[in-house]
Structure 1
Amino acid sequence: MKLKFESLQIDLGERSYPIIIGEGLIDVLGNFFRQDIGQSALIVTNETVGGIYLDRLRSCLGNIFADVFHIVLSDGERFKNWESANLIFDALLDNECDRKTTIFALGGGVVGDIAGFAASTYMRGIPFVQVPTTLLAQVDSSVGGKTAINHPKGKNMIGAFYQPKLVVCDYSMLSSLSSREFSAGLAEVIKYGVIFDHDFLVWLESNVTSLRNREPASLSYAIRRCCEMKAAVVRQDERESGLRAILNFGHTFGHAIEAGMGYGTWLHGEGVGAGMVMAVELSKRLGLVDAEFVNRLTALIQSAGLPIKGPVLDLVDNEGRYLELMRVDKKSEAGEIRFVLVDGPGKALVRHASESLVREVIADCCE
């Protein structure tokens, strides 16, 4: 049977690379490699994904590399830390991996972020390939070269911009996701419609059910469109000095939820879902959008199976706890929190809002 796939290009000069989108790609990765590869490969995965896909990827890579090693990390956001990164470094050193060794990140956003961070720092940088297995990773975190680990005081605060050599989005792998994990990925899909393409947002309102049913045609279109939008943004602002910051819509509130609840209690996409409701409500109170748009977005987020209310992080001063955590945010400047807001359907901007107004939004948008 002829292999069917689509290819997009991230245009970054000498750091450019393709994104391959299709079904059954994990078994034919060799079709997409150039010849200038080294002798060895290290697969980084986790306990959940490794039990499903590790053997298939090892078998495929065994036809390309002389030596294929692997490491299986504990599963969950709370393990995206220095300890896990050091386990990857140990595996690289124990197997005498050199500067041409390629790391393959087989997993969701956590695996991709930590494997990419290890690749960016081992011997000052070695090649790596993203093989994302979650919707969230396929539409967002695997593309664009943001790699990181978490610090107890803030999410993704230790990291580097480091581009992969290849991203392979095999959407047949999404069949293994739980409903909760799949919905978490839809948060990032919705984000693109809000900040970048209103027509895509309208499409999502009509097709959210088919996406939740994981219908291939809908998955293929959504993944491709999200990757196209992210590629356009990254091409203009690789290191998030301006435009790329809008991709963090809902994330300032969402990261506070993740950190405040303890990493892994709320999934990243769940925090972003509730965070988008807070961000669009703040946008409304600043006169940027109307109540009708707030209601539309809230209804779509709820239809995607995501929370629309944030959790209480502190029984005494919930708003103060949110603000404390949001100040540890990469968009903050001199302690001033800067929010990604909706400036009309399909448009976004980054700006400051008064603490009193933010407190009101948090109070009204939490359980």
Structure 2
Amino acid sequence: MNKFTVSTKRPYDILIGQDILKDAGKYIRERIDPCKICLVTDSKVNGLYSQVLTTSLIEHGFQTCKVVFPEGEHSKTMNTYSNILEALADEGMSRSDLIVALGGGVVGDLSGFAASSYMRGIRYIQIPTTYLATVDSSVGGKTGINLLNGKNLAGAFWQPSLVISDYKTFDTLNDDELLNGVAEAVKSGMVAENTLIDKVLHRDYAYVIERCVSIKKSIVEADERDTGMRQLLNFGHTIGHCIEKISSFSVSHGHAVAKGMVAESKAAFKMGLTENDVSVYLADILGSCGFDLSIPYDPDEMYYYAHNDKKIDGDSITIVVPETIGKCRLHKLPLSELPRYIELGM
């Protein structure tokens, strides 16, 4: 097992290993005194892993309760968020207690947002069970829910107290779920380390997880509140989030980001923002992994949702421009050019 420490305003450890979920209670007890823990998970993960986690927590002196909601992005709503808060209150959870998020990115985002706002903030722990959540969303403290007009439009920055990543859980993921993680790992390679992408393609999970976590750790430590260089991690997400929303989330996050990375690279090149058209490279490697990279949507509808993007500041939006494989930069694009940017990418 390897450990990383994220030195944010509230530092925390990330534990990475294989088959370590059964010892989660021990790792938590080493850092937190016995208290009540509310396990938040979804209907799929509940049947796979909640029993082994609950057993470990009880063995190490924690009282437990549980909240389960239907799996999928459609649950990442105000209604589910409200139900979690009401459940916490019904269970008598206090500020000295703890939420544990067991699942993928939807579970982590909802749990973290609930933790940030219940009694104005209680502790929570991330235990990601998907490739995507392990390499990306479980680290960094971004939490939130979707609104009718867009993805992640309500949320908070709320760092976890601990992250426990057991990549043995990948054994229960189907190919589409694994590809979601592949896309986010490729994104990390595009942003910061070109040699990482080959390891992603060869499914070297131990190496990829540690490098992605290390990359994100460094970026988050430098820009915890996402006002500067952390926005590099949004590569593929401006167009990707639009695709998710228009498809009613039938296109999952990683698959949408894969489409978005190719489209945003193509648009940046066609607009003369970079000398290199890395979209050709990305389309080749992502296509070889099995991604469908088509974007069969109306550009005007794409623009509608892009216009509600969180990265808009006044009359401009911050986009990520890939200069080469492993190096990207931020660029302020006037909103007046956003429709053209989207159309050229598609």
**Range class of TM-score, shorter chain:** over 0.9
8 Å CA contact 2:151–2:245 kept in 1: the answer is yes
Offset, 1:289: 3.8
Match of 2:331 in 1: 351
Q: Where do 1:109-188 residues align within 5 Å?
A: 109-188=105-184
Cα distance, 1:303 vs structure 2: 2.1
Partner residue of 1:102?
A: 98
Identical aligned pairs, as a percentage? 34
> 1:323, CA displacement in angstroms?
1.3
Cα distance, 1:224 vs. partner?
Answer: 0.5
In structure 2, the partner of 1:310 is 295
| Partner residue of 2:20 out of 21, 25, 35 | 25
Aligned equivalent of 1:273 = 258
Q: Deviations over 1:100-152 (max 9, x none)?
A: 11111000000000000000111111111100010000000000000001101
Where does residue 207 of structure 2 map in the other structure? 221
Provide the C-alpha distance between the structure 2 equivalents of 1:289 and 1:54, rounded to a whole number of angstroms: 50
1:37–1:100 contact (8 Å) kept in structure 2: no
Give the match's secondary structure for 2:195.
helix
Residues 290, 198 of structure 1: CA spacing in aligned structure 2 closer, same or farther, 3 A cutoff?
same
Per-residue deviation, residues 80-102 of structure 1 (Å, max 9, x unmatched): 01111112112211111111111
- Tell me, yes or no, if structure 1 residue 243 matches structure 2 residue 229: yes
Bigger mean CA deviation after superposition, 325-334 or 298-307: 298-307
Deviation at 1:365, TM superposition (A): 5.0
Judged with a 3 Å threshold, the aligned counterparts in structure 2 of structure 1 residues 165 and 120 are, in CA distance, closer, same or farther, namely: same
1:337 partner SS: strand
CA distance in 2, matches of 1:362, 1:157: 20
CA contact (8 A) 1:196 1:229 kept: yes
Match of residue 69 from structure 2: 73
Matched, 1:257 2:243: yes
Tell me the SS of whatever aligns to 2:316.
Answer: coil
Is the contact between residue 16 and residue 164 of structure 2 (CA under 8 Å) also seen in structure 1? yes
Cα displacement (A) at 1:31: 3.0
Could you tell me which amino acid in structure 2 is paired with residue 143 of structure 1? V
SS of the equivalent of 1:8 reads strand
Q: Which residue of structure 1 lines up, in the alignment, with residue 300 of structure 2?
A: 320
**Aligned equivalents of 2:92 and 2:257: distance in 1?**
40
Match of 2:59 in 1: 63
- The worse-fitting range, judged by mean Cα deviation, of 299-308 and 126-135 is 299-308
- Give the unaligned 5+ runs of structure 2: none
SS in 2 for 1:311: coil
Aligned-partner residue type, residue 299 of structure 1: D
The aligned counterpart of 1:337 is 317
Partners of 1:196 and 1:154 lie apart in 2 by 28
How much has 1:58 moved relative to structure 2? 0.7
Corresponding residue number in structure 1 for 2:276 = 290
Would you say the 8 A contact 1:282–1:358 is kept in 2? no
Distance 2:192 2:307 in 1: 26
After TM superposition, the score normalised by the length of structure 2 is 0.95
User: What is the distance in 1 between the residues matched to 2:212 and 2:63?
Assistant: 35
Q: Is contact 1:45–1:105 with CA below 8 Å preserved after alignment?
A: yes
Residue 338 of structure 1: how far off its partner (Å): 2.6
**TM-aligned CA deviation for residue 341 of structure 1:** 1.3
Deviations 1:147-194 (A, max 9, x none): 001101011010000000111110000111111111011110000111
Amino acid at match of 1:39: C
d(CA) in 1 for partners of 2:194, 2:62 = 48
Closer, same or farther: CA 9–289 of 1 in aligned 2, 3 Å: farther
- Give the Å deviation of 1:37: 2.7
Distance in 2 separating the partners of 1:242 and 1:252: 16
Amino acid at match of 2:126: Q
